Structure 1
Amino acid sequence: MDVSQVEGDAILFISGLSTPEVIAAVEGTFVAFHRRLRDMQAVTTCPCSACANISMLKLKFVVHHGKFSRQRLGSVEQLHGTDVIVAHRLLKNSVPSKEYLLVTDAVLDRLPTGIRDRFTPHTESFDLGAISGGYQEIAHLWEEARARERQRVAPEEAQVNSEVTVDAPIDLVHSLMLEPDVMQRYLFSDDVVVIPGARGEELGSEFHCHHGGSVVTLRVVSTEPGRELTLYSDQPTDMYITTRIADEGDGRTSIMRSFLWDEPADAEVAEGLRQMMNGTVLAGEDAMREVFEEKARAARPV
């Protein structure tokens, strides 16, 4: 979806996605919004009232399907047409919820029954006439996502555990663990693009790891600086990886990783995934040793 206009506290998007894809994108955006609010609360040290009350922020969506034309004045492009007016008018509505997704009949008509049935019928009356559609409350989406999210993987519950000791001091290992050029080496990625976390901190940061034509997204879900961090990965299945580091003395550091993922229902696929992960984790140990020791040698005074 592309941003068309920013109007006060509202943002107008346009999209060429299918209608079910738009609904999925909206729901994903809602969860990401609340995840970022939570992370900002966790890392902020600002005592101002805005930061203190950040959890009070709410998000609402209005979705309409229709036609529009574009008009450009200088560097500013605006959308025009009756359907654009419909979307704007619906921003002022009587939906009995603080966080909702309001859609018009034009959207409902393009949704499969399973999704359409989640909406409660709703009509608004304007000078344009009555605009019918439906709404659904969406606060539960964040509650459900938060309930599914892990903060760490204990070694005893992991499907694969890994441990490697490197000739590099713990402070160096900690500072480099999430550096893109280092991650690229031990994750065997072609490129790693970073999206900073809340207030630029590690928590909530994302790493988009490019492997050929595919992209794996890793997100920091919890961190204890200098000791432990947990990442969520969206491929090859939902996966959590907790990395713990410990000072072994004499400038050496142990790196322990615990992997836990959703098992595929098919036993053959599940076994194939386990074998792939065992091989990848083992190769990752060698890659970690190589990159951290290389960085440690480069950091030593000549």
Structure 2
Amino acid sequence: MTFPEPHYVNTNGIRMAVYEQGPKNGVPVVMCHGFPEIAYSWRHQLPAIAGAGFRAIAPDMRGYGYTGGPKGKDAVPLYDVAHLTDDLAGLLDALGLDKAIFAGHDWGGIVVWQMALRHPDRVAGVIGVNTPFMPRGPIDPIAGMRMAFGEDMYIVFFQNFGVAENIFEKDVARTMRFWYRKSPMKLADFDKLPADQKNFSFLKSFETDESTWIGERLLTAEELDYYTRAFETSGFEGGINWYRNFTRNWEMSEGQAQKVDAPSLMISAADDIVLRPEMTIGMEQYVPDLEKHIIPDCGHWTQSEKPQELNALMVDWLKRRFG
């Protein structure tokens, strides 16, 4: 099945590109992507969930693809988690929907868990893909990452406005080839590496010759072309701005109750070195109605690496809890 063309809705000051499949009267499932992703990242899940009778909805999120977003250094605060969750509430309003099940991968996972805290009346259920619920920490997360990993750690490096996006935009197709690679090693093997090889300084690898990049290429030529066109349209500034709001989001969450009341499904990938499966240990304290699974032999890009396994887990849970 070909990926649908977008339709557009106005929400929270942006014009959001929305891709849909499935019956309009089906229970809505909104799938939220991360970095550097777009709605197309759910291309294998949309038809599976639609085929199970649900209304499958995937937007290009704020700053990405054919949604795009505000530009310039002054616009950075417009990418905080309040804006990102308000975008989704406005999406439901525009579609005439009271509630939806929200699924999120990578940064999209952070947003859907926060959706359950900030707009609980709009959330029927939550599916975290790789990204667990992470309660508010005791210190500014950027300060913590800087102390643990140093200035070259990619999230710390992303704090420098205009730098990473300029690097990535020089050759968008090359950038997509860099990010979209299968995990080259098991998590246990990663853990055996020397500390200086575990500081997530991905940008140093990016600047090396492409022939030295590790991990098998994940995208077909057609898929690569789709991603490339989308990021040539939006650029990378908006997406990287999400990372520039870690501190702001942490500050805004002071005093916020850390409890998700909606039924929730957590699907981890066994070999995701950034969003490790053990990060879900203890989630039940904050997400009481929780079911957890781990997909073996899978790295970070779960929707593309193990689409059948992910689809089966999502559809099974959706049918049991909302069918």
User: TM bucket by the smaller chain?
Assistant: under 0.3
- TM-score after normalising by structure 1: 0.27
> Could you say which structure has the higher helix fraction?
2
> Could you say which structure has the higher strand fraction?
1
- TM-score after normalising by structure 2: 0.26
Per chain length, whose mean CA-contact separation is higher, i.e. which structure has more relative contact order (CA < 8 Å, sep 6+)? 2
